[in-house]
Structure 1
Amino acid sequence: MTIIDFPLRNETTTPSEALANLDPCPRTAALIGKTPLLRLPARGPDRSRGYWAKLEGSNPGGIKDRAALYMVKQAREKGLLVPGGPIVESTSGTLGLGLALAAQNFGHPLTVVADPGLEPAMRRLLLAYGAQVDLVDRPDPIGGWQEARRARVNAITADRSDTWSPDQYHNPDNVAAYEALALELAFQAGRVDILVCAVGTGGHSAGIFRVLRRLYPHARLVGVDATGSTIFGQEARPRLMRGLGSSIFPRNVAYDAFSEIHWVPASAAVASARDLARRAYTTGGWSVGAVGLVADWLARKEKPGTRIVAVFPDGPHRYADTVFNDDYCRENGILGQPVPDEPVTISSPLSTQVVEWSRSETVVDPVLAEAAR
């Protein structure tokens, strides 16, 4: 339930008078945050089992609205971004929407550097919001599409001294931006025993858990990665999913905070997202499907009363051409797969390459592991 705090001028002001004094067109940035927390039942006959989903798709563009607005605000305050200066950033989509909002709010031109995997609907939205979309045409031989996009950002910013890039993969403000989300969760849930987050740049998992761990020292963080992602020590392989996983090593990932990591393939994420839509009328894209799959398993596995909170980064609408498109899923061999019941457990991500839903309680920072060799 949303509660509106009317700005009463004095005790005799009526609600109708207060409503008349409200700005009918608030700045869009004011709509970010205070997103719902919804309880979802776990699969199976035991309706007492379930988890709580933080619905970040209720933000104008998704969870990264929070990070985009905060990073731009901080850059302006630090003098890194001059008034009217261009913003250039690499993104697979969601941060681009947030940056488009922040660019409008503060008056900056925006260039989004993406790759051919950008969903057609997302590209159209970015253009509609006034962003320029710059597509790279080939992946980096080592760092894949992400490194190719970052190289393009560096090439663009090198030509103009007034241009700023957020560098979401390594910018600590991308972590700090999620303090408000953590406090919202604490207020709404009352207690968090397990937090389940997708991991891409590492920003929201690190930022939320940094606060929750102080409030609830017993809390555990469970990360959800994509098969073929390098973040936790797997070898890089082609990835279909957007928004989670990486072919580089983002330094915002809080490796020491995770109790366990799950790797989810695209087929399982699609099956889970569609299952959520049918059962709960609440769903989203790749990340939501993957996170929901893991949170559902934890809800069935953990002892009764364990309060599990899953962060759903976005909603379903931008995925009409991919996750919810039978032709697209059929062409990519991921249509009609059953929702798996449980993951395979591996001892170490450095010794086993996973292709199916898998988990490990051994959490490795591959950069530090390589340096120690």
Structure 2
Amino acid sequence: MAYVERARRTGGVTDYPRAERALRTSLRLRPGGNADALEGLTALAVARRDFRAAERWGEEAVRVAPGRWTSYALLIDAYDGLGRYKAARATRDRMLAVDSGPAARARAARVSWDQGRVRTRRRRSRTRRQPRPRRRARRPRGRRGGYGPGNWPGSGDAEQSLRYCEAGGSASAAGEPEAGACRARALVALGRTAEGVRAYRAALARRPSAEVALRLGELYESLGRPRETRKQWGVVRALVARSAAAGVDESLVLGTLEADHGDPAEAVRVLRAEWERQPGLRVADALGWALHRAGRDGEALRFARRATDRARGGEVRSGLRVSPGVIERAVGLEAAGRRHLEERGG
């Protein structure tokens, strides 16, 4: 578990094979009732985006030790990655029955947020020290349905998002590993792009991440800096290859890179294979966008609608790459497309 945590904090993916060897040795030495090893293998699989394995290990972990809320939290991640949203909500309820403390409630609130239940999420996560936002910031308009180049931090006030990100980075000596990239996204959303570039660079220096490197490249591109943009695509590909060697699935990042800055047909191939393995909302969203970029709008519309289907957990997830309205208008459904774009502020 120390290897998994170190990799999470530093981006040192070579720790993942070490973690796997240690955890499997633990299971071999104590094969019965070893909840620690089972939970560790679940955390490792989630970190690698291997949600099938995470589901298998997580279900065994909660069976062996049904009183550990942390195992339920990891199992929720597995179900979410597989598109099993009813199972994720049921597991959330089981988790809260075991532990209703602040950490468990925060994790439960994230389920509601990810699955489009914003009011529920705000009600669960609100405390006296977290006042209701006074206003909503205007979203930057961009080519992906009005959300900008992958840099919008989510629904709500960008200034408040910046405060939360900065609080996460200063909460401990090491800070939260995602706080730097979170801060960069918020700065860009506020139009403070020079500070955003510096924040992205600092975040990557502390913790290499293919996804964050991609966001920085998209920011360079939006600022009209072609040489830095091209260099950044090379950084993204190198980080994807490094992660793959350590067993980490970076198909979403690679597919996004190919769709927008490489070969859209290759993006479709990569993301369709990922959909067959792990049909989550993020994959549906990315595949819909890749199909759109490849000129296959009829297929793209099915996945874009899937990614925003309220009944299946979509619609208000942050960071969607494209609204169904963009594709609906491309296939001649002008009225429906206009309605969807108006609903999403595009």
TM score, norm. by length of structure 1: 0.28
Of Structure 1 and Structure 2, which has the larger fraction of its residues in strand?
A: 1
TM score, norm. by length of structure 2: 0.29
- Which structure would you say has the larger RCO, counting Cα contacts within 8 Å and 6 or more residues apart? 1
Of Structure 1 and Structure 2, which has the larger fraction of its residues in helix?
A: 2
